[in-house]
Structure 1
Amino acid sequence: MMDPEIAAIDAAMQEQGKTKADLARLLGLDSASVSRIFGGKRRLQLHEARTIQEWLGGLPSTVAAGGKVMPMPGLVPLYGWVGAASESRLTIAEQSLRGYVPMHPNQQHVRDAFALEVADISMSPRYEPGEIIYVAPNRWPSRGQDCVLVTTEGGGFLKRFIRREAELLVLHQLNPDQDLEYPITIVQAMHSVVGRG
């Protein structure tokens, strides 16, 4: 099944008589890269989506004027993890938008819900690299619930919530199996993991 954003681009191109070769020239890509986009093996970058929207004279787009990512009905944005496995860093920003995935049932009525791709093995075998997790942002987890901790330095960590003390958080990782302590002062945000897929 084609990604809804790509399907909208494909339909608009057909309606306007524009070809994939035209699109490749527009984006400065080779034909194999364009085929991967339409085959779901390569995600559009935000700047590419904007260029295509202008080229086609507008689309029912996920990008509003000013570049803000807008939600699509029944879908949530998928953001990518970045950095080495040892750092477990993630970026939750428009520049790392990888596309959209169907909303998890547990994200119904959750404002600004999103999904992330797991990049490392710190929570293996529960979560493996490449697996998608679904997040309820700025919702503190219950004891024993998986969560994403975002630090003031921009680090992002997928762990299991153990407890919150006056000055620190205690989280658990599975690989290697250990409890980790994070000072409350470095916590920028805490997100609950509400599903996987």
Structure 2
Amino acid sequence: MLKHADIWAAIDALARDNGLTASALARKAGLDPTTFNKSKRITREGKARWPSTESVAKVLEATGATMTAFVGYIEGVAGGLPVSTIPLIGFAQAGDRGFFDDAGYPAGAGWDEIPFPEVGDPHAYALEVSGDSMEPLYRDGDIVIVSPTANVRRGDRVVVRTTEGEVMVKQLVRLSARRIELASVNPAHSGRSLASEEVGWMARILWASQ
């Protein structure tokens, strides 16, 4: 028996495989960005809601996917294949209070979720890039997957949050007991040199949708 959740999970998986969030997929298809929000998946009475055939047709056209491929997504989900989800927020929100604990793990409310294969870190999360400050490496709408528990080495691309709440994506150049040297991923921006006590946490970027 086909379930509402199977269809929504298939849309989420289609978005993921195209390097998009559900809201970005909706925008790409010319729909309202909130069309696939979790709040739109139930009625005001709390009953499960089906996505419209029009919205499904538009996302298939926007991604170039066939109906056969979409049915494959549905069958994969309904067939019991593991569908993991990880927390997601926009990059601009990452500097706000309440989204991370002192260790740099996702915390509090306000996170969305996206489906993603198991990465071996239960604290992994996703950030959606906004603006052009990280071009050409990361562009507006790209998703980066971050692992707070992964070992960080020179040359890794990392997310760094300062004790003042500034969040940045850089490349690790040098790490010592006293300082962290970072190179910018955008040639138009300068690197940073931070004293260790200025850094709240640093986490390695495992993957990016590009």
Common fold by TM > 0.5 = yes
Alignment partner, residue 66 of structure 1: none
Aligned 8 A contact 2:169 2:185 in 1: no
- Structure 2 residue 92 is the aligned partner of structure 1 residue 82: yes
Structure 1 residue 177: Cα displacement? 4.8
Deviations 1:122-151 (A, max 9, x none): 321010122110010143422111110011
Kindly report structure 1 stretches of 4+ aligned residues shifted beyond 6 Å. none
Structure 1 residue 56: Cα displacement? 3.8
Aligned positions of 1:154-165 closer than 5 A: 154-165=165-176
Deviations 1:54-91 (A, max 9, x none): x749xxxxxxxxxxxxxx951111112227xxxx9465
Distance 1:192 1:104, change over 3 A: farther
Distance 1:177 1:104, change over 3 A: farther
- Percent of pairs with identical residues: 24
- Structure 2 residue 206 is the aligned partner of structure 1 residue 194: yes
Aligned 8 A contact 2:154 2:175 in 1: no
Structure 1 residue 112: Cα displacement? 1.1
Structure 1 residue 153: Cα displacement? 1.7
Deviations 1:28-64 (A, max 9, x none): xxxxxxx754x22x565xxx99xx8xx749xxxxxxx
Structure 1 residue 192: Cα displacement? 0.5
State the distance in 2 between where 1:104 and 1:173 align: 28
Distance 1:179 1:117, change over 3 A: same
Structure 2 unmatched ranges of 5 or more? 1-6, 13-31, 48-81, 101-106
TM-score scaled by length of structure 2: 0.55
Alignment partner, residue 69 of structure 1: none
State the distance in 2 between where 1:140 and 1:182 align: 19
TM-score scaled by length of structure 1: 0.58
C-alpha RMSD of matched pairs (Å): 3.4
Aligned residue among 107, 116, 120 for 1:103: 116
| Structure with the bigger percentage of strand | 1
State the distance in 1 between where 2:95 and 2:130 align: 9
Deviations 1:142-194 (A, max 9, x none): 21111100111222111111111231101111322533111110111111000
Distance 1:36 1:147, change over 3 A: closer
